[in-house]
């Protein structure tokens, strides 16, 4: 008996090419990481240098360094002048340590100690557990306590990434009704310093881990709001400064699982007065299957912190569990952040 013919759909060359390019996209990222780690962009601030000069400064092999830079030339990160010297491009300037919108801290974080986590994604999918402890033998926050340089890079990364978000928040949201503001888990104080700079009648406290607060105190002292801002250390699982008009949790809750989020919100609820307000600044997962930053970062949360990105409804449920009430979600026009307004239940 003749077997029926099974027709198979041919894979188009264009689809195969797209998949191939996806499979090697991290190769470019790794070249960017090496340039950031070696400080190439910082070395070029005073003018172009030859590969030989850069290799000597960075203690690198000249031929290997040129091969990395050749890749980066092709995607407009650095350029090679006619005389062979290496020069900055606008993209390369984002890798400078002190650039206003520097991406160096983020590159050193995302493609440094966090890249190996993605090789363990299957582990996380199979077990539902983070890959961080699997790779480094400790949870992420414990790791940062013992690996200060990576921890400080992470803090700088969050501060730099949050700059355009902060500009939007300060423009869109009116902080003038709040005389006292506590930024819970406020990192190096970038958010609160900018809020107080825009609203001169307000004062505030940056609350974070003691080693973070120590770093933050120095940044506050060098700021224009040093007379209205302080930093203090502690654990938001235990207590936060009480009695403020406004509490802020920016990119904190997505780091934690639902049980831990409920604990953090309960601590904030205990510190709040009946008329206090809490702002949760997080990305919101939208309905549907369109591309959105929150969906990819949700996998990042699974791998690293063990937290997750959430829908508005999920934040509403978590707030209710802590005796709080979600009253509004403000779209600020950026995928990376929405403002979730929460009050104490009457």
Q: Total domain count for the chain?
A: 2
Q: Residues with catalytic annotation?
A: 254
pLDDT the model gives residue 2? 61
Q: What is the CATH number of the domain that holds 32?
A: 1.10.10.10
Last residue of a domain, one of 52, 82, 97: 97
In a domain, 189, yes or no: yes
Q: Pick from 89, 80, 78: which is nearest to 38 by CA?
A: 78
If pLDDT is split at 50, 70 and 90, which confidence band does 263 have? very high
pLDDT the model gives residue 340? 98
Burial 129-145 (b: 16+ CB within 10 A, else e): ebbbeebbeeebeebbe
| Cβ proximity of 212 and 187 under 8 Å | yes
pLDDT tens digits for range 141-195: 899 989 989 988 888 888 788 788 888 999 999 999 999 999 999 988 989 999 9
Q: Pick from 271, 146, 281: which is nearest to 209 by CA?
A: 146
In a domain, 108, yes or no: no
Please give the mean pLDDT across all residues of the chain: 93
Render 190-236 in DSSP notation, one character per residue: HHHHHHHHH-TT-EEEEEE-HHHHHHHHHHHHTSTTTTTEEEEE--T
pLDDT tens digits for range 252-261: 999 999 999 9
Q: What is the CATH number of the domain that holds 173?
A: 3.40.50.150
Mean pLDDT of 59-77: 97
Query: In 78-209, where do the E strands start and end?
Result: 79-80, 86-87, 180-184, 203-208
pLDDT the model gives residue 5? 58
Mean pLDDT of 60-83: 96
Q: Residues of the chain with pLDDT > 70: what percent?
A: 97
pTM, 2 dp: 0.85
pLDDT the model gives residue 162? 79
pLDDT the model gives residue 155? 81
In a domain, 104, yes or no: no
Residues 22 and 57 in one domain: yes
Mean pLDDT of 331-346: 93
Structural domain including 189 reads 121-344
Query: Would you say residue 108 has pLDDT above 70?
Result: yes
Residues 171 and 221 in one domain: yes
Render 53-92 in DSSP notation, one character per residue: HHHHHHT--HHHHHHHHHHHHHTTSSEE-TTS-EE--HHH
Q: Pick from 20, 201, 17, 190: which is nearest to 102 by CA?
A: 190
pLDDT the model gives residue 4? 60
pLDDT the model gives residue 1? 55
DSSP state, 284? B
pLDDT tens digits for range 269-295: 999 999 999 999 999 999 999 999 999
Query: Would you say residue 8 has pLDDT above 80?
Result: no
Mean pLDDT of 106-119: 94
| Cβ proximity of 221 and 206 under 8 Å | no
DSSP state, 119? T
Residues 171 and 211 in one domain: yes
| Cβ proximity of 284 and 341 under 8 Å | no
In a domain, 106, yes or no: no
In a domain, 231, yes or no: yes
pLDDT the model gives residue 159? 77
């Amino acid at each position: 008996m003749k077997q029926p013919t099974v027709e198979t759909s041919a894979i188009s060359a264009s689809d195969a090419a797209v998949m191939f390019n996806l499979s090697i996209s991290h190769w470019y990222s790794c070249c960017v990481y090496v340039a950031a780690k070696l400080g190439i962009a910082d070395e070029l601030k005073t003018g172009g240098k030859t590969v030989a000069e850069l290799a000597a400064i960075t203690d690198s092999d000249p031929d290997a360094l040129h091969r990395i830079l050749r890749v980066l030339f092709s995607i407009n990160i650095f350029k090679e002048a006619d005389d062979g010297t290496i020069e900055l491009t606008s993209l390369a300037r984002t890798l400078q340590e002190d650039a206003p919108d520097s991406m160096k801290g983020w590159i050193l974080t995302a493609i440094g100690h966090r890249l190996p986590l993605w090789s363990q994604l299957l582990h996380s999918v199979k077990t539902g557990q983070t890959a961080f402890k699997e790779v480094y033998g400790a949870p992420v926050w414990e790791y940062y306590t013992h690996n200060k340089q990576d921890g400080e890079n992470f803090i700088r990364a969050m501060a730099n990434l949050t700059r355009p978000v902060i500009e939007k928040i300060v423009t869109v949201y009116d902080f003038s009704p709040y005389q006292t503001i506590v930024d819970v888990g406020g990192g190096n104080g970038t958010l609160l310093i900018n809020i107080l700079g825009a609203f001169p009648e307000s004062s505030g406290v940056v609350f974070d881990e003691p080693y973070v607060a120590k770093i933050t105190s120095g940044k506050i002292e060098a700021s224009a709001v040093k007379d209205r801002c302080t930093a203090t250390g502690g654990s938001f699982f235990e207590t936060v400064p009480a009695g403020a008009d406004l509490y802020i949790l920016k990119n904190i809750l997505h780091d934690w699982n639902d049980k831990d989020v409920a604990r953090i919100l309960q601590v904030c609820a205990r510190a709040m007065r009946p008329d206090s307000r809490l702002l949760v600044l997080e990305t919101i997962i939208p309905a549907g299957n369109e591309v959105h930053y929150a969906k990819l970062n949700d996998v990042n949360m699974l791998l690293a912190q063990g937290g997750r990105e959430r829908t508005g409804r999920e934040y509403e449920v978590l707030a209710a569990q802590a005796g709080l009430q979600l009253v509004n979600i403000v779209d600020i026009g950026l995928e990376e952040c929405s403002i979730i307004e929460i009050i104490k239940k009457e």
